Amino acid sequence: MGLISPIDLSDEKKLETLGRLDQFRQWPSLDEKRYCLVCGKIISGKQLQVIGGMRGTGPLRIICPTPGCPSIPMDWVLPTDEVLAQISAAPAVSPEQPTVKCRSAGSYSGHECSVPS
């Protein structure tokens, strides 16, 4: 997605856009964090990129900020505090080696994540 420039929005407008375009989870603030199942990074609402829309490049959409990551909102899950702490304490791993595994928690609001032992 490197050829499409992100749209520069105010924080208020970006939060409104995230709330409208992410049908899977709520975004109470841009400081909310998600774990990207595709690239394995923790991302925040502030980092997400809004592209498309009136620039003639298709519908308005939000994408992961990680270069080359093709994920969309359904690929971003809610990490628990425990997962965030363990990820920050874990040594760096290669992109092919996921640091967190997530499974459906059986509810519309998100997934439950845990770090493998």
SS (H, E, C) 3-32: CCCCCCCCHHHHHHHHHHHCCCCCCCCCCC
Say how far apart CA 102 and CA 105 lie, in whole Å: 9
Res 22: pLDDT: 93
Phi first, then psi: what are they for 79, rounded to 5°? -80, 145
Res 117: pLDDT: 46
pLDDT tens-digit profile of 10-53? 999 999 999 999 999 999 999 999 999 899 899 999 999 998 87
Res 79: pLDDT: 87
pLDDT tens-digit profile of 91-106? 665 545 444 444 444 4
Residue ranges per structural domain of the chain? 11-114
Res 65: pLDDT: 94
